[in-house]
Amino acid sequence: MSAFSHLPLGQAIPNSPHAVSCSLPTMRSVRGYEEKDPAITSQLTVGYPRFVVHPFALQLAAHFVATNPALAGHKLWLTSSLAIAERLVAHLAPASAQLFIDTHGLHGVAHPAANSDLAARAKTYLQNLGGFISSREAEDHLVRLGLRAAISPEATFPGDAPAEIRRHLRGVLNSHLAPAATPVTDTDLFLTNCGMSAIYAAFRAVADLQATRGRTVWIQLGWFYLDTIAILKKFTASPADYVYIRDPLDLDAITRIFAAHGPRIAGVVAEVPTNPLLQTPDIPAISALARRHGAHVLIDASTASLYNLDILPHAGIALASLTKYTGSEGDLTAGLAVVNPDCPDAPEVRRRIALAAGPLYTRDAARPAHVIAATDTVLEKIHASTPQVVAFLENHPAIKEVFWARHAASVANFAKLARHPNATGGMITFTLRELGSLEKFYDRLRLPKGPSFGMTTTLICPFLYLAHYDLVTTPAGLAELAASKLDPDLLRLCIGCEPVEEIIEALAEALG
């Protein structure tokens, strides 16, 4: 019996109330989701947590609005912490929004429900920073209030969950330690409620510190995941302080930028590899360049995992979404920021990250602590399958281009960082040769279709439609994508732990 069959619209992936993905089985459903078509959105039980407010959070917020006269006629956003709520009030303007604090430790922001502009700005801000209350925290409060009978059953770690997570991560991060390097300790490891929270906290810490030195310029190496781009664009001091280098493999161009702006550069941000073109810059060379100019290097290893890449020696701060690979079941969100203890500013950076990071809720820590021990086994299965799927796609006449961590254009750079020869991560992106064939292929495909990656479940999605729908649907947006060599119909395939023969069979069947 095949591991794959068509999943209905809205089915949670996995089958858990805390799932981070859901089935979008047709291009019509993808468009309907992006355009907020009620015929589509009404069938979604969950969604990626930073984009879709969880039903538990909606139910909890509705309860407080209904039972608190001061909130009548207001929209309430429940947040992951008081600090996030306070920042959101400042972002919306205090005259337009009010802080909400519940006696049981809940925090949020309320504004007039009729103000759709405020609602859109609040949602985008919380999405960018990963500031929504977690589904498990919301669930716990619903149970406390008698609005749910009990929490959903799941396997969790019974002891000190953050300590267990850090124990595993220390083992990974210190496994290839150079003789002169300082080992990572728990004080260097910051667990956050999601990956974007870790990225924002790291950016905020370094940006504020470097601003005291007159350094405000930030360099983005290649096309990134949309919310990292949003953070860099929105929170740099001015538009002129955001520098986007389209080709992260062009070391000469990066060197020229440092020559032009060196004394003013606060930091360099890299994804290794980038999402979705899976390009790996020459990180050791860029890191050396940054050190000579007093700039910090922030590296996000989410696409391939810190289990695969030894990036900390080249970074002031290493970052990762633990939702991916470490949270391999796909039913949790968590993030990680690791301060390089040998970074000259390490003590101050640690202090500032601690102030800016969104906390990982207790029950949300207990879940990854339970599954983290399986990460190596999960990655072994993914690494065995990924090259086989790449080979199939590269040799299929219907496929135009295939990108993966070991793509010829930057495999040498990736190899400099890889912890072992088989390291790849499970992400593959590809384009179809025939124009207009995306919908036919996508709708026929039996693989699970939805956002996220790094799961035991294989997932595919039309990435740019989900991440940048505004760009794929406008002439100016399409021109912007073309300038960065991004095909709007690019598909992102993330290999799971199912039999590789069945993954390839499903792809072959849909390609015809």
Residue 299 · residue 311 · CB < 8 Å: yes
Query: Are 206 and 340 contained in the same domain?
Result: yes
Euclidean distance between CA atoms 138 and 105, whole angstroms: 11
User: Token match 């990956």: residue?
Assistant: 195
3-state secondary structure of 56: helix
Query: Are 335 and 408 contained in the same domain?
Result: no
Residue 1 has pLDDT above 80, yes or no: no
Query: Are 317 and 450 contained in the same domain?
Result: no
Query: Are 454 and 470 contained in the same domain?
Result: yes
User: Token match 């062009």: residue?
Assistant: 250
Euclidean distance between CA atoms 145 and 125, whole angstroms: 28
Choose between 89 and 1: higher pLDDT: 89
Euclidean distance between CA atoms 232 and 228, whole angstroms: 6
CA neighbor of 270 nearest in space, from 209, 199, 338 = 199
Domain extent for 63 = 55-133
Euclidean distance between CA atoms 163 and 434, whole angstroms: 51
Query: Are 367 and 407 contained in the same domain?
Result: no
The answer to the question of residue 443 being in a domain is yes
CATH number, residue 442: 3.90.1150.10
Which helix (H) or strand (E) covers residue 338, if one does?
strand 335-339
Query: Are 360 and 388 contained in the same domain?
Result: no
What pLDDT score was predicted for residue 420?
95
Euclidean distance between CA atoms 196 and 363, whole angstroms: 19
Return all residues near 375 (Cβ < 8 A) that are at least 6 apart. 168, 305, 307, 325, 326, 328
CA neighbor of 76 nearest in space, from 42, 94, 100 = 100
The answer to the question of residue 27 being in a domain is no
The answer to the question of residue 38 being in a domain is no
Q: Of 372, 393, 428, at which residue does a domain stop? A: 372
What pLDDT score was predicted for residue 454?
97
Q: Of 308, 338, 372, at which residue does a domain stop? A: 372
State what percent of residues in the chain have pLDDT above 70.
100
Query: Are 352 and 436 contained in the same domain?
Result: no
Q: Of 372, 388, 405, at which residue does a domain stop? A: 372
Among 1-15, 136-150, 193-207, the minimum mean pLDDT is found in 1-15
The answer to the question of residue 149 being in a domain is no
CA neighbor of 269 nearest in space, from 295, 237, 306, 293 = 295
Query: Are 454 and 355 contained in the same domain?
Result: no
HSE-CB of 390 using CA atoms within 13 angstroms: 19
3-state secondary structure of 435: coil
What pLDDT score was predicted for residue 335?
98
* Average pLDDT rounded to a whole number, residues 270-274: 98
Residue 404 has pLDDT above 80, yes or no: yes
The answer to the question of residue 297 being in a domain is yes
Query: Are 425 and 474 contained in the same domain?
Result: yes
Q: How confident is the model at residue 277 (pLDDT cuts 50, 70, 90)?
A: very high
Residue 303 · residue 321 · CB < 8 Å: no
Specify the amino acid at residue 73. G
* Average pLDDT rounded to a whole number, residues 15-33: 97
Choose between 502 and 45: higher pLDDT: 502
- Please, what is the average pLDDT of the chain? 96
Query: Are 368 and 380 contained in the same domain?
Result: no
Euclidean distance between CA atoms 336 and 176, whole angstroms: 19
Query: Are 428 and 279 contained in the same domain?
Result: no
What pLDDT score was predicted for residue 288?
97
* 445-501 per-position pLDDT tens digit: 999 999 999 999 999 999 999 999 999 999 999 999 999 999 999 999 999 999 999
Residue 94 has pLDDT above 80, yes or no: no
CATH number, residue 353: 3.40.640.10
The answer to the question of residue 191 being in a domain is yes
User: Token match 């009404």: residue?
Assistant: 42
HSE-CB of 180 using CA atoms within 13 angstroms: 2
CATH number, residue 110: 3.30.70
Euclidean distance between CA atoms 480 and 293, whole angstroms: 31
Residue 402 has pLDDT above 80, yes or no: yes
* Average pLDDT rounded to a whole number, residues 210-237: 96
The answer to the question of residue 439 being in a domain is yes
Q: How confident is the model at residue 3 (pLDDT cuts 50, 70, 90)?
A: confident
Q: How confident is the model at residue 2 (pLDDT cuts 50, 70, 90)?
A: confident
Residue 258 · residue 289 · CB < 8 Å: yes
Query: Are 17 and 76 contained in the same domain?
Result: no
Q: How many CB atoms lie within 10 A of CB 495?
A: 30
pTM: 0.96
What pLDDT score was predicted for residue 93?
84
The answer to the question of residue 387 being in a domain is yes
Q: Domain count for the chain, please give it.
A: 3
